């Protein structure tokens, strides 16, 4: 009588598929139960006469310091798709974006993107609009 060896291949494949599916479910569940933390972002603009540049700057504020540090802030203008520039906040939540003085006009605002930490989900935030030009 001859014995055939089928091995553990099919059984291991089935076990690994179950582990992958349950792992994805656990990650989604963990993210769903993180507290959402509010944030605010401010925007200011100054004109540098020496370099003829507009300097947009501001600060991201939140009740949790982790929601202020290392946040991506995008500079946007109403009616223009995409962003004009972006920066990452420093450890105090401050950001700065410099644009050349090429007839800037419109309503500008800053948007802090959502950030997921190990303990919280920092919600995105938009600043008030500032108007430049005629």
pLDDT band, residue 63 (cuts 50/70/90): very high
* pLDDT score recorded for residue 19: 56
**pLDDT given for residue 134 in this prediction:** 79
Cα–Cα distance for residue pair 115/122, rounded to 1 Å: 5
Q: What is the pTM of this model?
A: 0.74
* pLDDT score for 34: 93
Is the pLDDT assigned to residue 5 strictly greater than 60?
no
Q: Three-state DSSP class for 29?
A: helix
The CATH classification number of 36-132 equals 2.60.40.10
pLDDT for 20 equals 56
- Give ∠ CA 47-40-89 in degrees, rounded to 5: 60
- Is the CA virtual torsion 70, 82, 44, 130 positive or negative? negative
Q: How confident is the model at residue 7 (pLDDT cuts 50, 70, 90)?
A: low
Confidence of residue 57 (pLDDT cuts 50, 70, 90): very high
Summarize the confidence of residues 13-21 as an average pLDDT: 59
pLDDT in tens, 69-112: 999 999 999 988 899 999 999 999 999 999 988 778 899 999 99
Distances (CA, A) of 59 to 37, 56, 112: 16, 11, 10
């Amino acid at each position: 009588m001859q014995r055939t060896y089928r091995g553990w291949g099919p059984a291991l494949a089935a076990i690994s598929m179950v582990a992958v599916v349950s792992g994805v479910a656990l990650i989604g569940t963990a993210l769903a139960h993180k507290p959402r933390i509010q944030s605010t972002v401010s925007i200011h603009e100054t004109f540098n006469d020496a370099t003829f540049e507009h300097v947009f700057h501001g600060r991201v504020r939140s009740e949790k310091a982790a929601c202020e540090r290392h946040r991506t802030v995008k500079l946007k203008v109403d009616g223009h798709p995409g962003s004009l520039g972006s920066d990452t906040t420093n450890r105090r939540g401050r950001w700065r974006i410099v644009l050349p003085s090429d007839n800037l006009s419109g309503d500008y605002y800053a948007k802090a993107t959502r950030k997921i930490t190990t303990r919280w989900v920092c919600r995105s935030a938009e600043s008030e609009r500032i108007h430049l030009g005629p």
